[in-house]
Amino acid sequence: MSDPIRVIQYGLGAIGQAAAQVVLTKPGMQLVAVVDSNPVFAGREICGLPVHESLPDVAADAVIHCTGSSFAGIYDQLAEIVGAGLSCVTSCEEMLFPRYRNPDLAEELNNLCISNSVGVLGTGVNPGFVMDTLPVLLTAVSQSVRSIRVLRVVDAGTRRPALQRKVGAGLTREEFQKLADDGSIRHVGLPDSLAFLAAALGRPYDNIQESLEPVLRGDGRVAGVKQVASGNGLTLELQMFVGAPNPRDEIHIEGNPDLHVVVQGGTPGDVATPAILANMLPRLLEAGPGLHTMATLPLPRMAS
């Protein structure tokens, strides 16, 4: 057996701490440091390790990075990680398909990866798996594809409180609209999933439509959101609200053949997101250097 992958956990929010816990369960991985600049962690230990406020100079192979949703916003952190000769799996939603929003920055990061002989990958469950990687894989048995529709229904009532706030649960319609207008309710990553899916099928991705509307409770307040991205024959619909019936991930591929695939109950993001962040580390390390996507790495699977 080869040496364990030495992992630094960068970002200690809910997902980051959960990813560090997954690393601790893997014989093929070793958690060597944890990092978070938030003063709330100053002097504390997480997973038995002292929290560094910035990337420490320790012997390591790779970083699991969970700090922000905006590629431009985390670029300096990624550049520092790559510059230190470390590969990186990040939960940053815009990194699922970085060429979509920031082609220049993606090119710059790719060059930096190559000159430092490391790889960077953005992944997660959504974006990262249920509405993009999984439907792309299903087209492997398609002679032709006319359209793809993915529906993800999440009962926000079963998810962590941060997610319930994120979908606006409990707000009035007016409060919701205000937050929707300034972008703070929007689930980041739906158009990114669509662009990834389009590119994987050789379709253009420059004309993606988005809509966002509240789902209302019986008392007229907001239960959550229904968000749709569409374009080029592809439609991704995300329903996340408290009390959503029949939670599931459902993929319809119209073509030859038609395919209809259902993940019964849905893929539980709170467990699955930290899992996939850790699981992709060996795949990223065995791929060549560069800025990768879920479509360029060997078949994703659970790491040991």
Indicate the helix (H) or strand (E) that contains 162.
Answer: helix 161-166
Per CB under 8 A, which of residues 186..215 are in contact with a copy of itself? 200-202
Interface with a copy of itself (CB under 8 A), residue from 91, 110, 116, 139: 139
Q: How far apart are CA 133 and CA 119, in angstroms?
A: 19
Taking CB under 8 A as the rule, does residue 47 contact a copy of itself? no
Q: Where does this chain touch a copy of itself (CB under 8 A) — which range of 31-39, 75-83, 176-184, 261-269?
A: 261-269
| Token duo for residue 42 | 């100053």
Q: How far apart are CA 129 and CA 300, in angstroms?
A: 10
| Token duo for residue 90 | 């990040």
Nearest approach in angstroms of CB 226 to a copy of itself is 23
Indicate the helix (H) or strand (E) that contains 212.
Answer: strand 209-216
Taking CB under 8 A as the rule, does residue 117 contact a copy of itself? no
Return the number of the residue (152 or 186) whose C-beta is nearest a copy of itself.
Answer: 152
Q: List the one residue out of 203, 201, 221, 222 whose CA is nearest residue 212.
A: 222
Q: Where does this chain touch a copy of itself (CB under 8 A) — which range of 77-85, 93-101, 157-165, 262-270?
A: 262-270
Amino acid letter at 257? P
Nearest approach in angstroms of CB 137 to a copy of itself is 5
The neighbour count for residue 270, using CB atoms within 10 Å, is 14
Taking CB under 8 A as the rule, does residue 142 contact a copy of itself? yes
Q: Where does this chain touch a copy of itself (CB under 8 A) — which range of 34-42, 105-113, 156-164, 291-299?
A: 291-299
| Token duo for residue 255 | 């073509």
- Kindly tell me the sign of the dihedral angle through the C-alpha atoms of 94, 97, 99, 101: negative
Taking CB under 8 A as the rule, does residue 143 contact a copy of itself? yes
Binding site for a copy of itself (CB under 8 A): 22, 25, 125, 129, 133-134, 136-145, 200-202, 256-257, 259-265, 267-268, 271-276, 278-280, 294-302, 304
